[in-house]
Amino acid sequence: MSRKYSHVVVVGIDGAGAWVKDADTPHFDRIFANGAVTYGALSSNPSISAECWGSMLLGVGPEIHKLTNGIVSSTPYPTDSPFPSLFRRIREVYPDAELGSYCDWNPITYGIVENNIGVSHDTAKDDELTPIICDYIRNKKPEFLFIQLDSVDGAGHKHGYGTPEFLARLNVVDGYVNDIYNACDEAGIIEETLFIVIADHGGTNPGNGQGGSHGGWTDGEKYVTFAATGKTVNNIKIEEMNIRDLAAIVLYAFGIEEPQFDEKGWTSQIPAGLFDDKNIPPYRDISHLTGAAPRISKVPHTSELI
């Protein structure tokens, strides 16, 4: 399979859910005006950070990778796991590639990414981390860069997801997305970059001033934003997608053959119509694996500490 892109940049907005569509996000709207967008991508179940980011970077569901917030915060990701991260898969094919993981919530880099494969990394709050990321892009021109911004999730926990305060924070982070996109342009790589924004989960809004949470399977928790733009991306509304599909999308962009689909292992797929390529297999329904069958809301609850 031929390589489609020289660079892939993924900006993960923790806790953004599907509320990007309700927030004032002029930069997001401009960047993805001709790209592929959905506000109905399905989170992992439970809708908790480690379970979700793990699914995206490993291409398997939480029932397979078994990562939790406690595990990724205290245990390095095993270098011999049968479910290697995207970083390891890319490194094995492109041994000299510049790879970066820049996350506000550092357990992603520590507990979901192998620590012995030469991945550049840093951690700080969103407002401090974004300039560091932009300098890294301009100086190193990474082949694969994964970013996690955390302040939107913090606003959801404090004020409730979807509240005016939450949406205001999304507006601020939209500016950070623009800074990162512009850094790719300034580095001279944007034409050869697959640029992605994705959320891991949403959250609840109790409406009692006590803030929201997540971990359950209500619509507000399980439906999230995904957007992609690049030279081979179609201008479509994606009809069906799971957040674990990020893994297959990234491998495809780099021309790396993905593992065989297996309900007891790799279940990441390329959403229908994302790329104009007739060789991409039809999208398989995995709702019975995610708890989304039937796709209706359930009683809100959380298993994640605020």
Q: Tally the C-alpha atoms within 13 A of residue 185's C-alpha that lie toward its C-beta.
A: 7
> Which CATH number goes with the domain that contains 269?
3.40.720.10
Phi, psi of 92 (to 5 degrees): -65, -30
96 belongs to a structural domain:
yes
In the numeric block, the tokens 């509304």 are attached to: 237
For residue 122, the model assigns a pLDDT of: 98
- Domain assignment present for 297: no
> What phi and psi, each to the nearest 5 degrees, are found at residue 167?
-65, -35
Q: Is residue 111 part of a domain?
A: yes
- Asked, for residue 245, whether it belongs to a domain, the answer is yes
Name the token pair of 56. Answer: 């995206």
Number of domain units in the chain: 1
CB neighbours of 148 closer than 8 A, spacing ≥ 6? 12, 14, 53, 102, 103, 104, 105, 108
Radius of gyration (C-alpha) of the chain in whole angstroms: 18
Q: Is position 1 within any domain?
A: no
**Rounded CA separation 164/149 (Å):** 19
Pick from 97, 2, 64: which is nearest to 244 by CA?
64
Q: Is position 100 within any domain?
A: yes
Closest among 28, 16, 59 to 250, alpha carbons compared: 59
Provide the residue range defining the domain that includes 68. Answer: 7-289
Parallel, antiparallel, or unpaired: how do β-strands 7-13 and 193-199 relate? Answer: parallel
Residue 114 maps to a domain: yes
What is d(CA 41, CA 21) in angstroms, rounded to the nearest whole number? 13
* Cα(167)–Cα(155) distance, integer angstroms: 9
User: What is the DSSP code string of 129-185?
Assistant: HHHHHHHHHHHH--SEEEEEE-HHHHHHHHH-TTSHHHHHHHHHHHHHHHHHHHHHH
User: CB atoms < 10 A from the CB of 127, how many?
Assistant: 14
How do the pLDDT tens digits run along the chain, 306 residues long? 899 999 999 999 999 999 999 999 999 999 999 999 999 999 999 999 999 999 999 999 999 999 999 999 999 999 999 999 999 999 999 999 999 999 999 999 999 999 999 999 999 999 999 999 999 999 999 999 999 999 999 999 999 999 999 999 999 999 999 999 999 999 999 999 999 999 999 999 988 778 999 999 899 999 999 999 999 999 999 999 999 999 999 999 999 999 999 999 999 999 999 998 999 999 998 888 877 654 443 444 333 333
The pLDDT assigned to 287 comes to 84
The answer to whether residue 128 is domain-embedded is yes
**What pLDDT, on the 0 to 100 scale, is given for residue 263?**
93
